[in-house]
């Protein structure tokens, strides 16, 4: 196959766009898809101070690198979960990536916050993943607000978004459907949240990361059974093969025509949030979930 743009040998085939590209033209394609997403959904501008959550995985690193190259004001945030034999490697990947690319980095150590994940795991009688996710989201949000960032970005790609959307549709979860999308506006106690890679698939992001020489750090969490939404992603991969382009069309269609009724319904029936009496984070309970976890860990031994 030849590159659609310059006729050099293509290295990346893109059935969903009915085309293929050489490395340079693929870089251009990828970058333009990100820009198009930022502009069409008005995610942020060059005036914004963007904090980007960096786990050490390729998606978040790719997101940081493309935004940096586009001239945006980005700072990385890494949550060190303090898991032996795992967190150190992830943190090392993020630290060297940021120093090589001139991206400032903030690291939050969960051990110092009384929330080392092994201690949380010991204390909980339910799977750790949802608590760990809650703790990470809490510190992403808190750091963005405390340090006066105007936008909080994550590296979620189209496959992540489609799988989540599909899961929410299967449950007709009004609360989640009303909030889903590449942009969640700031609300009292919540930072503005964006997902700049929402137009790009996992495959496209992985190829771009590889071609840019982004370190491939594959270290699955020792506590997790594997990636979330695996079965939905598989189902959508089959569908996409039968109908190239359906994933992006389904997602954009939801944003354009599907989401509004859920937003209206949530405004009527949704939980009202009030500040946590302990930390001020918005919660539907008196004390937020993370403060309750921290208290439980402190009572240990």
* Binding-site positions for Zn(2+): 3, 6, 22, 25, 276, 279, 288, 291
Please report whether residue 281 would count as binding Zn ion according to CB under 5 A. Answer: yes
* Least distance (Å) between residue 20 CB and Zn ion: 9
Query: Which is closer to Zn ion, CB of 6 or CB of 260?
Result: 6
d(CA 37, CA 155): 13
Residue of 5, 108, 121, 217 that binds Zn ion (CB under 5 A): 5
Stretch of 40-48, 111-119, 139-147, 271-279 contacting Zn ion, by CB under 5 A = 271-279
* Least distance (Å) between residue 286 CB and Zn ion: 10
* Least distance (Å) between residue 96 CB and Zn ion: 30
* Least distance (Å) between residue 235 CB and Zn ion: 33
- Which residues have a Cβ under 8 Å from the Cβ of 273 and sit 6 or more positions away? 189, 282, 283, 284
- Pick out residues in 6-65 that bind Zn ion (CB under 5 A): 6, 8, 22, 25
Do 62 and 164 touch, CB atoms closer than 8 A? no
* Least distance (Å) between residue 264 CB and Zn ion: 30
Please report whether residue 279 would count as binding Zn ion according to CB under 5 A. Answer: yes
Total residues binding Zn ion (CB under 5 A): 12
Query: Which is closer to Zn ion, CB of 5 or CB of 259?
Result: 5
Query: Which is closer to Zn ion, CB of 8 or CB of 227?
Result: 8
The binding site consists of 3, 6, 22, 25, 53-55, 59, 79, 155, 160, 276, 279, 288, 291
Query: Which is closer to Zn ion, CB of 22 or CB of 248?
Result: 22
Residue of 38, 66, 165, 288 that binds Zn ion (CB under 5 A): 288
- Pick out residues in 158-187 that bind Zn ion (CB under 5 A): none
Please report whether residue 3 would count as binding Zn ion according to CB under 5 A. Answer: yes
What the block records as the tokens of 201 is 């698939």
The count of other CB atoms within 10 Å of the CB of residue 90 is 21
Compute φ and ψ for 193, nearest 5 degrees. -120, 135
Query: Which is closer to Zn ion, CB of 244 or CB of 280?
Result: 280
List of residues contacting Zn ion (CB under 5 A) = 3, 5-6, 8, 22, 25, 276, 278-279, 281, 288, 291
């Amino acid at each position: 196959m030849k590159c659609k743009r310059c006729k050099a040998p293509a290295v990346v085939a893109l059935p969903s766009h009915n085309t293929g590209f050489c490395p340079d033209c693929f870089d251009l394609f990828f970058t333009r898809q990100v820009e198009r997403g930022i502009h069409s959904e008005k995610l942020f501008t060059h005036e914004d101070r963007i904090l980007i959550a960096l786990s050490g995985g390729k998606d978040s690193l790719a997101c940081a690198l493309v935004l940096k190259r586009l001239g945006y004001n980005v700072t990385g945030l890494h949550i060190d979960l303090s898991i032996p034999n795992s967190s150190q490697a992830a943190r090392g990947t993020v630290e060297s990536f940021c120093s090589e690319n001139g991206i400032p980095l903030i690291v939050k150590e969960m051990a110092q916050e009384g929330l080392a994940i092994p201690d949380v795991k010991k204390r909980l009688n339910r799977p750790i993943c949802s608590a760990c996710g809650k703790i990470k989201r809490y510190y992403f949000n808190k750091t963005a607000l405390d340090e006066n960032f105007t936008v909080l970005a994550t590296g979620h790609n189209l496959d992540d978004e489609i799988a989540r959307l599909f899961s929410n549709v299967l449950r007709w979860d009004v609360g989640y459907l009303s909030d889903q999308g590449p942009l969640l506006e700031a609300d009292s106690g919540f930072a503005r949240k964006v997902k700049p890679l929402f137009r790009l698939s996992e495959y496209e992001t992985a190829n771009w990361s590889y071609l840019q020489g982004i370190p491939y750090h594959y270290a699955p969490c020792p506590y997790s059974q594997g990636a979330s939404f695996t079965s939905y992603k598989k189902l959508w991969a089959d569908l996409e093969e039968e109908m190239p382009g359906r994933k992006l069309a389904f997602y954009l269609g939801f944003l354009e025509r599907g989401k509004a009724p859920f937003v209206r319904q949530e405004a009527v029936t949704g939980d009202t949030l009030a500040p946590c009496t302990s930390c001020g984070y918005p919660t539907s309970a008196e004390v937020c979930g993370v403060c309750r976890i921290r208290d439980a860990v402190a009572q240990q031994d």
